[in-house]
A and B are shown apart, each in its own frame.
Chain A
């Protein structure tokens, strides 16, 4: 009986070696280990053995069953691995074929730049203030210290809504400052971006509608030095840490002292090029210390509070940023243009 078991073991081993498919393997399992399998058949004959032999043969039989089980399981793993490898090879694809792109819309270039500016100021503790585009002249002119005889008030320059000139399309976002100052006690830190209107015919650098970002800071003890520090910080965030600025005296009715702020030309780095007309500088914004008359006109005591204001031409900034040479492109809404950003 022992010999029979040993023989069975060798026979099974040989058979497994030739089993190369899962069904073949399964039929071998049934043949040797099944309920009606060969090992069971042998074990059924155990009764004919002596009491001494029976445990020995039983042990041997179990050992051989385990060996065969183990061999079958090893063979099964081997077959699975081979099958997987074969599948992986057959499933190979050309990974250089382009993927399926999601169609995503684009932000308008002006708003890309505006978002950046907003985020910088929000990070500095500012808020975004909004105000009407159809505005009272009181807010857009009178309270900004713009005399009644100022050329900006002429019908050739400003779009009027009423004959008595009391309502017009705002020609700057500065009236929002006035509205905020009237409503809110200092400290005030706002920027007010938005659409503004001036009676300019459309050409490569003019548009009757364009965008400004106006800023205002009012608190106790705000100085011209703070104006410089704040705007320097903004410029360094927009154009890089080492971008130089230049504050030049200028004139605006609602600030005094006033200045224009130039930044080192972003195109040539200050060496002189066509964009900066060889000067190495680009005019970025107008700014100044809020005129005490303006503060007083809005009910803020100029002896207690001071502040500064600034205005940025967003469209020009956008053009410089992306190298756009014609303002009209920003309002034409051609997807061939808009999808570049």
Chain B
């Protein structure tokens, strides 16, 4: 919302500087984004009277002028423009002057002839024909303004105003107007607010004989107010009006249209003017559109309407889309003689939906959609008629048509002064509260507060507290710290999460952050079967695109995407992790959101590296009884290089080499990944740590190597060794696996280091020999493994 400070001063006189004004308004709740001061951009430019003009000798396009700028002697200025003649009044940039765009002008010599400044065009003053329709677009600006030589150019061209850009919050549509902001300004600066009631002289006649208005749908149009103007003379509106419209970013069109826009800015009430001669039957009917009804809007576009859209119709057809844009058929033209001013109140949500559906957001719709003051339609239409008379744009027909279903009853609240102070932590006296609220337009009777019609955002005592606080000053409220002891802290789950992610980083894995949504093509890429349950997830009905339409049920595609990104950037190796959710449809209203730790890597990474990372995490997190079993059936992973991870009977996840066809889909050569269910892992952790006495007797270590079939796994042998080794076997470590010339075809050798220790005594070699024999016997019996 851009507003001219001069316009504001029609209502309240504020002398604050631009910076003071910005700061104070921002702190009272009307945030100022910026202030534009054209006056700052123009320095030392004055009106000049051209005394004489003649060709510069030896030039076919330059002229030498003698210009009176109100000083003792005229200035000599060389110009290239062809539209200047003696007697003209022109803008003159003097020696050491500045023009918009930080252009500096100094005196100098042109073709050896002294030139003591520059004559300015509209563009050089950042003006255009909208500001001065009579001027020439190309040449020097020949002014028809009331001024004398030497006068500062800025007031003449209206560059003595400041334009303030406000950011208005959605709850304050009343502040999307000059009057609304003037009210806020007056309360902020403690100045007087004067809002004159519009007065219309009228010119006889009776609107009711010319026009009838009917509302079909009060829910969508609670009020419609109309007045008429006759004998219209369409012409440009006066300079002051054009300037204010332009300051607000609107393009001046003609006096009648400009008046409607002017009132919209001033009162915050969007208005529309219809050419009466184009209204069939002299009727205005506010109704919803028929299915498939068509009309052309003012922007020349044909619109197809639907039955949830509100239109303004005449006896036969729609002539405007209510609150959004008028129709071409009833547009004000230079031939318009009779016009109807519409000042109506529409349902904000309906307007918003219509504007969105038609992709047609206008100044009017963006105001209506916030919900406007139902009491404002009448003053606004009166103001428009007052302006018609002021501008001499036409004659106002007597009478008003004002249709509404019910009268406005203000919200009333109790002024609870103590309660407000308690909520704010302040000691503001009641008199200040009353004075502030009254200045804001609230009517106070005892402790009853009647909320003004334009403040539908106020419905609770806490809203009053905010009104008081805004003007008392948020910055004045003393900061305090609430007392009371409270036991905060991380939960054990949060602590575990921090620890695990810390371990990942300690082992070289870098954290990533991927989107929670994927698409079916991502599932294709990781080779999920078409009938996989994982394809049945939570689906977004209105996604940005297919590729972000499903809440992921597996974290693998996201990880592979991240690996592929790095592969694509030629990062030679990557080790990544993410702790984030998957979303499993469990047939309830909300899915099961499960945090998954996903590891992924390529480059200096292999199966045993990534498995080792998992094992280290399990060890450090004290996960019980972890087992890895060959997993041949996961379609995303290499069938011979993948393991399912269990703690006891609980499945924790999967680790393996990503299937060669899957990595190919991502354009990577080889990748490894692990997906671990964080909550499953948490449920398998030993939380208590208890000290075990240090060994008092030495241990005996024996190494054995056995030859067995290739199909026998290390886990099989270790389990057998542990089972047969007796209670004093403390550690069993696989330290070598060999296949090759030294063993026969189809066989492999595996070597283990066994550590025996008793807490009671030093073990004897005989005991160790006996134990080893038991182990070797068991290996022979169960796996036909021979000592090597």
Contacts and interface: CB of A to CB of B under 8 A. Distances in A.
Nearest to B559: A333
Contact of B356 (A115, A156, A339): A156
B424 A256 contact: no
B27 interface: yes
B513 A105 contact: no
A107 B498 CA distance: 11
A248 B474 contact: yes
Nearest to A261: B474
How extensive is the interface on chain A, given as a class?
Answer: 35 or more
Contacts of B170: 151, 251
Interface in A218-235: 219, 221-226, 228-230, 232-233
Interface in B417-468: 422-426, 457, 460-463, 465-466
Interface in B282-325: none
Contacts of B494: 128
A250 B511 contact: no
Contact of B484 (A104, A187, A249, A251): A187
A136 B591 CA distance: 11
B475 A161 contact: no
A136 B516 contact: no
Interface stretch (B537-545, B646-654, B768-776): B537-545
A335 B491 CA distance: 31
B509 A105 contact: yes
B557 to A, nearest CB: 13
B571 interface: yes
Contacts of B727: none
A105 B575 contact: yes
Contacts of A180: none
Contacts of A258: 466
B482 A106 contact: no
Given A105-B507, A257-B462, A125 B487 contact: yes
B250 to A, nearest CB: 24
Interface in B331-357: 348-349, 352, 356
B439 to A, nearest CB: 16
Interface stretch (B75-83, B259-267, B561-569, B620-628): B561-569
Interface residues of B, number: 86
A128 to B, nearest CB: 6
A64 interface: no
A209 B583 CA distance: 15
B372 to A, nearest CB: 14
B233 interface: no
B422 A132 contact: no
Contacts of B551: 134, 169
Interface in A73-96: none
A217 B482 contact: yes
Main SS class of interface, A: mixed
A169 B508 contact: no
Q: Which of B480, B487, B569, B583 has the most CB of A within 10 A?
A: B480
B543 A226 contact: no
Interface in B575-602: 575-577, 581, 583, 589-591, 593
Interface string B494-511: 100010010011111111
Contacts of A228: 474, 477-480
Given A127-B488, A338-B512, A247 B475 contact: yes
A160 interface: yes
B28 interface: yes
A242 interface: no
Contacts of A50: none
B515 interface: yes
Interface string B25-39: 011110100000000
Contacts of A127: 488-491
B590 A135 contact: yes
B169 interface: yes
Contacts of B713: none
Interface string B515-534: 11100000000000000000
B469 interface: yes
Interface stretch (A23-31, A53-61, A286-294): A286-294
B479 A232 contact: yes
Contact of B480 (A108, A187, A229, A335): A229
A48 interface: no
A166 interface: yes
B220 interface: no
A208 B548 contact: yes
Contacts of B517: 208-209
A335 B571 contact: yes
B505 A104 contact: yes
A257 to B, nearest CB: 3
Given A128-B491, A162-B541, A233-B481, A134 B511 contact: no
A334 interface: yes
A149 B348 contact: yes
Nearest to B569: A334
- Of the listed residues A124, A195, A222, A335, the one surrounded by the most CB atoms of chain B closer than 10 A to its CB is A335
Nearest to A112: B511
Nearest to B512: A333
Interface in A135-186: 135-136, 149, 151, 154-156, 159-163, 166-167, 169
Given A125-B488, A259-B474, A105 B577 contact: yes
B485 A125 contact: yes
Interface string A92-122: 0000000000111111101100010010011
B470 interface: yes
A125 B485 CA distance: 8
Contacts of B482: 217, 219, 221-223, 226, 229-230
Contacts of B589: 136, 166-167
Nearest to A202: B544
Nearest to A127: B488
Contacts of B239: none
B514 interface: yes
A283 B591 CA distance: 35
Nearest to A154: B356
B574 interface: yes
B94 to A, nearest CB: 30
Contacts of A250: 29, 31, 169
B541 A338 contact: no
Contact of A106 (B352, B463, B505, B590): B505
Contacts of A189: 486, 488
Contact of B512 (A108, A136, A209): A108
B535 to A, nearest CB: 16
Contact of B566 (A102, A128, A187, A335): A335
A335 B426 contact: no
A223 B485 CA distance: 17
B480 A226 contact: yes
Contacts of A105: 504-511, 575, 577
Contacts of B349: 149
A336 interface: yes
Nearest to A257: B466
Given A128-B490, A209-B517, A223 B505 contact: no
A274 to B, nearest CB: 14
Contacts of A257: 424, 462, 465-466, 469-470, 474
B469 A249 contact: yes
Q: Which of A124, A126, A247, A249 has the most CB of B within 10 A?
A: A249
Contact of A208 (B463, B475, B544, B562): B544
A156 B355 CA distance: 13
Q: Which 9 A-B pairs have CB atoms at the shortest separation, nearest pair first?
A: A223-B425, A225-B425, A249-B29, A257-B466, A229-B479, A251-B169, A105-B505, A333-B562, A105-B510
Given A134-B583, A250-B169, 20 more contacts: A102-B508, A103-B575, A107-B501, A122-B490, A133-B581, A154-B356, A166-B589, A187-B486, A189-B486, A208-B548, A223-B423, A225-B425, A226-B482, A228-B477, A230-B482, A248-B31, A256-B465, A257-B474, A334-B565, A335-B571
5 contacts: A126-B486, A219-B484, A229-B479, A230-B481, A333-B561
